[in-house]
Every structure is written in structure tokens, then in C-alpha cells.
Amino acid sequence: MFHQAPLFNCLANRASKTAGVLLMVAASLFSPLAMAQAADGPTANASDQAKSELQEIVVTGTRRALISVLDSPSPVDIIGSSALENHASGNFNDILREEVPSFNVNDNAISGTSTTERPAVLRGLSPDHVLVLVGGKRYHRAGNIGTFSGSITDGAQGPDLASLPMSAFKSIQVLRDGAGATYGADAIAGVINFIPDDSLGGFVSVKGGRTYKGDGANAELNAAYGLSLGSGGGFARFSLEYAGSGATDRSVPLSSFAADQAAGFGPSPHSPRMGDPRIWDNLKVFVNAAAPISEHATLYGFGGWSHRKTSSDFFDRDPLSNDGLFTFTDPAGNEAFLVGDLNPGVGGNCPGGFDPATGAVPNPIEANAPNSGALLRQALQNPKCFSFLSKFPGGYVPLFGSYASDVFGTGGIRGTLDNGLNYDFSFGAGQNSVTFNIKNSVNPSLGPQSPAQFGDLGTRSQFEQVANLDLTYPLDLRWSASPLTVAGGLEWHQEQFQVIAGQPEGFAVGPLAIQGFAPTQEAFTGFSPRDAGIFSRSNVAAYLDLSADVTKRLSLDEALREEHFSDVGNRVTWKSAALLHITSALAFRATYATGFHAPSPGEQHFRAIGDFISATGQHFSTGLLPTTSPVVQAVGGAPLRPETAHSISGGFVLDSHLLTATLDSYVIYVNSRLTTSDLFQLTDAQRAALIAEGVAEAQTISSFNFFTNSFSTKTYGTDLTARVPLEFISRGTTVFNLRGNFNFTKVTYAPLFTPGEARFTQTQYQIPKWHGITWVTHSEGNWQTTLRANYWGRYVECHVNNCALRIDAAPRVTLDLEAAYQLPHGLEVSAGVENFLNKFPTANPYGQFTGAAYPLVNPYGNDGGVYHARIRYNF
């Protein structure tokens, strides 16, 4: 459902929702639930930490109580507090990438909005195919949708994991299996569940670091404190994180610089900074609290608020080739300088400029002609003649920025009735918003009246509400080795995607548009009232889950769920899982699951303009159009449909004194997958039709694409985890760990894409087929050290989303080293180096076109070695 809303009403609506969520967070302080587990202590040795993670109660993927990692019918990874602390990065995306081999998140240098909110994937599928929970409750999507992050993640609206503070959680449980019947839509590849910390006491931690090259300096303050509420076991724990990091630059000179200087233009700008964005004002707070209200009932609540600012470079704007800004294409097909007449038809035309009588440029000044610079300078001596080269004689590099904010809260009551029925009723709400800005750029059609900075180009926002009623009852059966856990429940979920218009200069069609100057802000088109609106939908669901130890050796888990969406109708999913103990140390487990993802309101109504580079290095703009456009429908676009999936997995669990290991293989079929289509060249008739629709940017775009879900895939792979205590080392405690993933995706159906295109025939586009992590941790006295090796296999990048610019990236091995020492009085110091051999990805053979020294979409980063140090005080 779509409602057009004036800007005032949109802002008022947003403010009221934000206030409501803030009240929910505040209310959670007074409606809080105690959880059973305490966080690992900072002085726990390697063996204790490893055993603690294996013995931790699994609350993800099962409704049964007191199930350990090794007794779970589905594979679950647990990342404990010690692993969360001992990383150079304070971002959950980077930590999960180094702890869960089938999890991938790229460093998206110069990738537009995907640099602000990085999309993450599990088992090679889409960000839309992994469900994120906080405290077992569905976490909301981000306000942004990636469109320049690589085709596997393009078009997906996943959550923003960077909004969550590290200090707020005692562990992360990652379910690597389909769980749609248990948790609902989106849980096709698996579930990531952030477990809030409920421990008493607190800590303060300060960490800082930088890259070997000297850039990317970062600092981070973490603090948390938990206190008792009354004598009944209630508590409240407060967490805070404040951080910032500088930009990194891994660029090479552009080949266009020499041509610019030879033509007399300059001084040339720097190459775009191809690296991590600058991030500042990165503040996150979180509250987790609980209070018993009777012997068998507890109120609970948790919630958080965060904001951060980012900035990164866009591609350079070259003075000799940038249509609609510095140049245009003349009738002979040559690049000519764009000269505006500020007073057309009065006193003659500008040399090289537009003739209003004929609607043409009678004497174009060709940009590559030997005397072009002199002719242009002569023309600009006339005060009524204008070119942006008078303001930017060497071109420029726009600086793209964003302000991301996130607020959410969940409160509820849970307990046990006299008859043994366990209940949990909760309500939560969350909102993620991103406001965009640009510095060092212009709206060409406004000519000399254009600002060079646009502080508000508009906002994209996602708001969600969810209510849950979960019931479980242990039913004693004579023939069963354990009680039959009967679980059932209801869920109501509403989501709303909102676009708020930005400042008028960002979307204005100025007086020079008729002379060929591009309308709207040229680097990132501002959102206009035409784009603004609220798109919403709701769904309700009911589920039934049965699980038990049928015999002492065999455990079964069956789940069934039906959901009704207001826009796509009914969907039914189910899952069957089994665990068979072959011996006391060896077990076999297997699952079959179905799932689906219903395209979000944001994905169904999304619109954007992007900047691309051709195989010859020429910049061009393209439009991402909604499927409701008649132009899109004429070339095969259609309303988006739900993605559907089914998966099969099987593997072994070994738990012995000498070795603890799991081996799980899987096959996942996904039909009607969502991504962006191929680019379609825009014809004159299509351009006229779009302009008639009110799409002013159609004047300057040369092609268009759209979201489509008409391709299908088969993904298969294997996960391996192993832990070996190295008891032959007599001093201290030493533990060896191994985690590995093989993942391969084959496209089985893709009618709307170019045959032979790398991103659909080369199945390792963007994501390595092999990824492995191995580390050895040694604890002795007050010391603990960890040596980690990371392996990333080959992968393919279609550079700047252009498969004519293919990069075959070679495998890489990086090494990390961490050391910590426990001082008296609760003090702990640690230091480490990630990638201490300073390894870099395969060199980019197209760097002269883009300025990027390495692939832009990189699964292990372009920064090289990074060192850090931390001091922590526990109290």
C-alpha cells in the first residue's frame, strides 16, 4: 500500500515512531527477564573458553530446553565473549567473517550506499536469506538497499549489524541451516542470534589501532555495568560504545590525468580514495534488564540506540569526458565541451554553446581538438557564457556521506503456569534510517547557482513492529526417552519503508537543463516529492513444533509454520530434523527444510541512479527503475514474487577426549531469486516516456535496469569445525581449532541475463569457493596468546559491476596474532596484529580507469596489516 505524504507529515510520522521506540527502550528498564548464563570471565584460559562454548545451552533453532551445541540436530556455531573482545575491529560484520567460515561480508570501497551499510551473506546466499535475532526476537531491516555491492547482494535489504554494540552481548549463536518453519520468512540460509549479556559487575575498555600504511587510525571506548534489581534475581545491564576510524586509501593514479594535463586542464584532483570510509560520531547504547514479578513470572526488556556518520569518495569527474557536466556528445559522436548560455537569445550565442532557435549546438568545441582549451577559455571570457570547468578546472571527486541512526526495543513477560505450560509474550519495534549528503559536487542544471554541498539529499527509513506469543509444554510419554516438547505460537509483523524528500537543489531541474546540463545532483540524485512516500505491509503467522528424544539414541524435531502476507498471500514452510547417536561419542544428524523470502516493500518500490564505468574506462550513468514503470514492463520486468527454497543437510558430530568435530554438508535450492537485471540501453522513445513519467534524470542516463527475481540457483557445500586440546604441550593449556567451508552456487535458470555473463556463469562471483580459519590458543599463568591463519580461495569480481572488466582474484592466506596479559586489580592489557604479513589482494588490472589498486568488492579487505592495542579494567 502506498500513501503520498507531504514532507511535514513524513517528518512528523517519523518523529512519532522514533519517540515510541525510545519509550519502549526506556520502558525496558522497568520490565525486565533474567537469563541463566553468566559471561565468560576475562581470565578464563583457552580450554575453559572452548569447553564453555561447546557446553553453552543452544537457544537458536530449537524450542527444547538444555540442549548443547553437540546435541543440536542442526549445526550451531557459538562465538563467546573472549572471541568478541580480541579483534582489531569493533564491527560485528568483520568478527563474524573471521569466526564463521560460511559467513561473508565484503569491504565495499566506493560502493555508494553499500559502503554505509555493508550487506552480509551466509552460505553464499543473499542478505535477505539470513534472519537476524536479538535475544531470540526478530531484528529489523536496514533503511538502505544495496545496488552497487556485487550482484549476489544487490537488491537485498538485510539488517545493519554495525548498529549493535559489541559490549552488549555475551555470545552470538549462528544456526547454519534453514529455519523458516521455526522463525518465519528470510531464514533460508540460517539464523544469527545475538545473546544479550546479563552478568553483574562491569568493565571499561579502550582500544586503538591503525594500518601498517599509517591510515585508518581508529579508537574505541567500550563500557558496561550490570547491577541487581531487588533480591529476587532481577538485574539491569547498561552498555555503551563510542568509536571512530579514519579513511584508508588504496588507490592508483588515473590514466586520464596525463590527457587532462596535456590539454591544459588542472590542477588535477587526486584519484578517488579507494578504501574504507571515514566513520565518526559512532555511538551505540544498549540496555538489558529483567525483574521477577512473582515466583513463576518475569518481566523483561532490552533495546538500543545508535548513530554514526560516514564519508567516502565517488569516482572522479574528468574534465574531458563527463556528459551533462563538463561535456556532451556532438552529432558526430565526439565529446565536446558543454558551454551554457546564461542569457540565451540575447546578444548572440556563446561560442560552442546552445542555439535556442534551432535547439542545437552549431559550433561545438571538441574536447580532444588541439586548440580546444584555448577555444573554451576564449568563450568563457564572455560573462554570459558558463562552464563548470571555470569552477573545477581539473575536474573533481565527490565526497559521499551519510548519517545512519537505529533505535529498537523489545519488552515482554515470560514464565510458567501451574500446569507446566511455559509462555513468552513480547512486543518489539525498531527503526533504521539513513540520510545522505554530498560534498564537492553540483546540480549541473542550476549552473553557477548550484551549491557545492548538499547537506540533505533525502532519507530512506525502515520501521518494523513485531508481537510474539510462544508456548511450550513438556508432555510426558511412556514410549519416549524424554518428554515431548510441544511448542506453538503466533506472530504479527508489520514493516514500513519510507522515503523522505531532501533539499530542493538536490532534485531540481534548473534553467540550463534545456541546454544539455544534467538535472538533479549529479553524483547521487536527491529524493524528490515524487520519490517520497510510505510503503507498508503486514503478515501474521502460526507455528507448531514437536521435539523429543524418541529413544536414548534418536532425537527428532518437526516444525510447521503458515504465514499470511498482506501483499503476497499465504506461505507454508516445514522442517524435519533428526540426530542419531551411533556411539556415545559419534552422532549423525540430518535436516530437510523449506523456506521463502517475500520481497520487502522497499525492494518492490525502489528507485536509484548509479555511476558505472565501461570496458574502455568511460563513465556513464544508469537508472534503477521500479517494476511498476511501463518502460521496465516493456522489456520483461514484472511485479516481484516471493523467493522459495528447500534445503537438505546431513553430517556427523564427534565428541571425544582427543577431538571434538562436526562435519555438515548441504544442498540449497532457491527459486525466483531477487537481484538486479542486466543493463538495457535507453532508447530515445524510452527516455521520452520516462521524462513524461516525471523521471527528470532520464535526460542523462544511458541505460537502465530493475529488480527481478527470475533466476534460480543450486548451492551446495560443506562446513567443518574441529577442536583438539594439545595435551602433549606440558606447560599451560593449548587448544587447536579449525573451521572451514566449501561453498559453490550453480545458476539453473536465468532468462533475463546475458548468456555467458560472469556473474551468472562464474559461480564464485564475489565469494570464494573455499574459506578456512585455523587458530591455536595457548594459556599459561596470566598470559594468553592466539595465532590465527585465514584462507580465502579464488573468486571473481566483475569490476564496478561490469563483467567486461573481470578480475580473477588469487587465493590468499593471512595471519593474525593476539596476546593478552592479566594484571592485578582487574586490569588486562592486550595487543595484536591482523594480517601481520601485510598481504594484499590481487592487483586490479583496470586501476587506470577507476583508481582502485585492488578489487572493490573484497571478501578480506584491502588495507593490509592492521595493529591494535587494548587496556581493560574489570570491576
Q: Average of pLDDT values for 239-261?
A: 90
In this prediction, residue 608 has a pLDDT band, given cuts at 50, 70 and 90, of confident
Distance from C-alpha of 321 to C-alpha of 825, rounded to nearest angstrom:
64
Instruction: Give residue for cell 505450560.
Output: 421
Taking 90 as the threshold, does the pLDDT of residue 654 lie above it?
yes
Q: Average of pLDDT values for 610-632?
A: 79
Task: Give the per-residue pLDDT at 90.
Answer: 66
In this prediction, residue 666 has a pLDDT band, given cuts at 50, 70 and 90, of very high
More confident position, 48 or 448: 448
Task: Give the per-residue pLDDT at 22.
Answer: 39
Residues facing 675 on adjacent strands: 708
Q: Which three cell numbers stand for residue 549?
A: 528424544
More confident position, 118 or 257: 257
- What's the sign of the alpha-carbon dihedral 241, 244, 250, 255? positive
Distance from C-alpha of 72 to C-alpha of 578, rounded to nearest angstrom:
9
In this prediction, residue 830 has a pLDDT band, given cuts at 50, 70 and 90, of very high
Task: Give the per-residue pLDDT at 321.
Answer: 83
In this prediction, residue 134 has a pLDDT band, given cuts at 50, 70 and 90, of very high
In this prediction, residue 151 has a pLDDT band, given cuts at 50, 70 and 90, of low
For the segment 628-653, what is each residue's pLDDT rounded down to a tens digit?
Answer: 889 999 988 888 999 999 999 999 99
Taking 70 as the threshold, does the pLDDT of residue 598 lie above it?
yes
Q: Average of pLDDT values for 424-439?
A: 97
Mean pLDDT of the chain: 86
Nearest 10 degrees: Cα torsion 582, 774, 870, 827: 40
The answer to whether the CB of 223 falls within 8 A of the CB of 205 is yes
In this prediction, residue 144 has a pLDDT band, given cuts at 50, 70 and 90, of confident
Instruction: Give residue for cell 514500513.
Output: 496
More confident position, 189 or 39: 189
In this prediction, residue 32 has a pLDDT band, given cuts at 50, 70 and 90, of very low
In this prediction, residue 429 has a pLDDT band, given cuts at 50, 70 and 90, of very high
The answer to whether the CB of 461 falls within 8 A of the CB of 14 is yes
Taking 90 as the threshold, does the pLDDT of residue 39 lie above it?
no
Nearest 10 degrees: Cα torsion 391, 392, 393, 394: 170
Q: Average of pLDDT values for 60-79?
A: 81
For the segment 518-529, what is each residue's pLDDT rounded down to a tens digit?
Answer: 999 988 888 989
Task: Give the per-residue pLDDT at 158.
Answer: 87
In this prediction, residue 308 has a pLDDT band, given cuts at 50, 70 and 90, of very high
Q: Among 83, 4, 94, 82, which residue's Cα sits nearest to residue 43?
A: 82
Distance from C-alpha of 75 to C-alpha of 663, rounded to nearest angstrom:
9
Task: Give the per-residue pLDDT at 34.
Answer: 33
Q: Which three cell numbers stand for residue 456?
A: 540533505
Backbone angles phi, psi at 329, to 5 degrees: -95, 120
Residues facing 82 on adjacent strands: none
More confident position, 420 or 93: 420
Task: Give the per-residue pLDDT at 606.
Answer: 85
Helix (H, G, I), strand (E, B) or coil at 443: coil
Tell the burial category of 732 from Cβ atoms under 10 Å away from its Cβ (0-12, 13-18, 19+). Answer: middle
End-to-end Cα spacing for the chain = 52
Q: Average of pLDDT values for 239-249?
A: 95
Distance from C-alpha of 624 to C-alpha of 603, rounded to nearest angstrom:
11
**∠ CA(15), CA(19), CA(22), 5° rounding?**
140
Q: Per-residue DSSP letters for 12-55?
A: HHHHHHHHHHHHHHHHTTTS----SPPPPPTT--HHHHHHHHHH
Q: Which three cell numbers stand for residue 532?
A: 517520497
Tell the burial category of 478 from Cβ atoms under 10 Å away from its Cβ (0-12, 13-18, 19+). Answer: exposed
The answer to whether the CB of 506 falls within 8 A of the CB of 523 is no
In this prediction, residue 756 has a pLDDT band, given cuts at 50, 70 and 90, of very low
Distance from C-alpha of 816 to C-alpha of 832, rounded to nearest angstrom:
7
For the segment 679-730, what is each residue's pLDDT rounded down to a tens digit?
Answer: 888 898 998 888 888 787 788 788 888 888 878 899 999 999 999 999 999 8
Task: Give the per-residue pLDDT at 87.
Answer: 67
| CATH annotation of 2-321+397-441+458-501+522-874 | 2.40.170.20
H-run or E-run covering 685: helix 684-693
**∠ CA(148), CA(154), CA(160), 5° rounding?**
90
Distance from C-alpha of 309 to C-alpha of 436, rounded to nearest angstrom:
10
For the segment 858-872, what is each residue's pLDDT rounded down to a tens digit?
Answer: 888 889 999 999 999
Q: Which three cell numbers stand for residue 91?
A: 564491527
Q: Average of pLDDT values for 771-792?
A: 94
Taking 70 as the threshold, does the pLDDT of residue 55 lie above it?
no
Q: Average of pLDDT values for 583-605?
A: 94
Tell the burial category of 254 from Cβ atoms under 10 Å away from its Cβ (0-12, 13-18, 19+). Answer: buried
Distance from C-alpha of 445 to C-alpha of 388, rounded to nearest angstrom:
11
Distance from C-alpha of 438 to C-alpha of 510, rounded to nearest angstrom:
18
The answer to whether the CB of 84 falls within 8 A of the CB of 826 is no
SS (H, E, C) 49-97: HHHHHHHCCCCCCCCCCCCCHHHCCCCEEEEEHHHHHCCCCCCHHHHHH
Tell the burial category of 385 from Cβ atoms under 10 Å away from its Cβ (0-12, 13-18, 19+). Answer: buried
Domains of the chain, by residue range, sit at: 2-321+397-441+458-501+522-874
Taking 70 as the threshold, does the pLDDT of residue 763 lie above it?
no
